[in-house]
């Protein structure tokens, strides 16, 4: 996406994160850290399992070097604010999702350069040194995620009746925003999809489905509540395509490496939409 699209997306996410904060309380985050099993499983999926799956896929599939490196890049970039939105719409544990985004964003300052360097050695037989802008990464997470969620929680604390009234309208607005973004991405990236869907579509789709399934499976094995299973699945399987594109084009100076992250960033909204529908049905059954 271009700079204007990214700015609109960031502003929309800030508003939605504020809306999420209206439904959260400090005790929600305290409970997540008092029982850290879900956090640890989520980080395992994001930081360890996701890259391993990426490396396995580039060996299983016959890929051009550019697509293979693109798969490694996207495997190194766990979900950002978009995964928080998807978790919110899927009625997962939003506090867990936000916590995982904040923690993984700090860890990836070290893990992303390490994983991508390994990928370049694996595919090209050579490495390179890349560095993420620490201030920019922390500032982005703070401005788009932590600050608006915190302000929403503060309003919830000060005016709980108003927060309760706003919860449903904001949830509907978030759903509408999700659909609008999906349609806009499909229209804007149609040329990219038509050109590269055969080469990069199936492997990126496989990466998305496998990592979401592994996340949900691990969370089930460790007997996490359904809402936390949903969050771990999304956080483990919805990657930050925008960050992947930025790394490919700005840090590695190769737009061909951005093809797989761009195709992934489009397809993940389709699988996320299906997962949102499925998870809400599962929660409804559990309630009954």
Domain CATH for 251: 1.20.1530.20
Residue 97 lies in a domain: yes
Distance CA 43, CA 236 (A): 8
Task: Judge whether residue 243 has pLDDT over 70.
Answer: yes
Residue 270 lies in a domain: yes
Per-residue confidence at 42, pLDDT binned at 50, 70, 90? Answer: very high
pLDDT tens by residue, 145-154: 678 878 887 8
Residue 287 lies in a domain: no
Residue 274 lies in a domain: yes
Residue 288 lies in a domain: no
Beta strands in the chain, from DSSP E residues, in sequence order: none
Distance CA 250, CA 189 (A): 20
Structural domain total, the chain? 1
Per-residue confidence at 277, pLDDT binned at 50, 70, 90? Answer: very high
Quote the DSSP letter at residue 9. H
Residue 249 lies in a domain: yes
Residue 88 lies in a domain: yes
Are 199 and 67 a contacting pair, CB within 8 Å? yes
pTM score, whole prediction: 0.77
The stretch 24-49 carries a mean pLDDT of: 86
Distance CA 89, CA 251 (A): 33
Residue 246's pLDDT is what? 74
Are 86 and 280 a contacting pair, CB within 8 Å? no
Range of the domain at 52: 3-282
Distance CA 276, CA 182 (A): 14
Task: Judge whether residue 23 has pLDDT over 90.
Answer: no
Distance CA 142, CA 224 (A): 28
């Amino acid at each position: 996406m271009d700079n204007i699209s990214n700015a609109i997306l960031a502003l929309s996410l800030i508003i939605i994160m504020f809306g999420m904060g209206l439904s959260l309380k400090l005790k929600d985050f305290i409970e997540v850290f008092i029982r850290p099993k879900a956090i640890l499983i989520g980080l395992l999926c994001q930081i360890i399992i996701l890259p391993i799956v990426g490396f396995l896929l580039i060996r299983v599939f016959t890929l051009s070097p550019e697509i293979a490196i693109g798969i490694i890049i996207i495997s190194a970039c766990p979900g950002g604010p978009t995964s928080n939105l998807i978790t919110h719409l899927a009625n997962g544990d939003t506090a867990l999702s936000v916590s995982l985004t904040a923690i993984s964003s700090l860890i990836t300052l070290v893990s992303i350069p390490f994983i991508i360097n390994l990928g370049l050695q694996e595919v090209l037989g050579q490495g390179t040194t890349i560095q993420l802008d620490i201030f920019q990464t922390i500032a982005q997470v703070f401005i788009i995620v932590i600050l608006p969620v915190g302000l929403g929680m503060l309003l919830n604390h000060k005016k709980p009746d108003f927060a309760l009234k706003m919860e449903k309208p904001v949830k509907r607005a978030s759903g509408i925003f999700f659909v609008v973004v999906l349609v806009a991405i499909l229209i804007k990236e149609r040329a990219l999809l038509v050109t590269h869907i055969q080469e990069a579509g199936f492997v990126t789709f496989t990466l998305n489905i496998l990592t979401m399934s592994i996340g949900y499976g691990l969370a089930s094995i460790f007997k996490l509540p359904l809402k936390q299973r949903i969050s771990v699945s999304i956080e483990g399987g919805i990657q930050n395509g925008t960050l992947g594109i930025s790394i490919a084009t700005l840090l590695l100076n190769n737009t061909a490496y951005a093809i797989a992250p761009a195709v992934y960033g489009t397809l993940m909204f389709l699988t996320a939409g299906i997962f949102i529908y499925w998870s809400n049905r599962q929660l409804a059954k559990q309630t009954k």
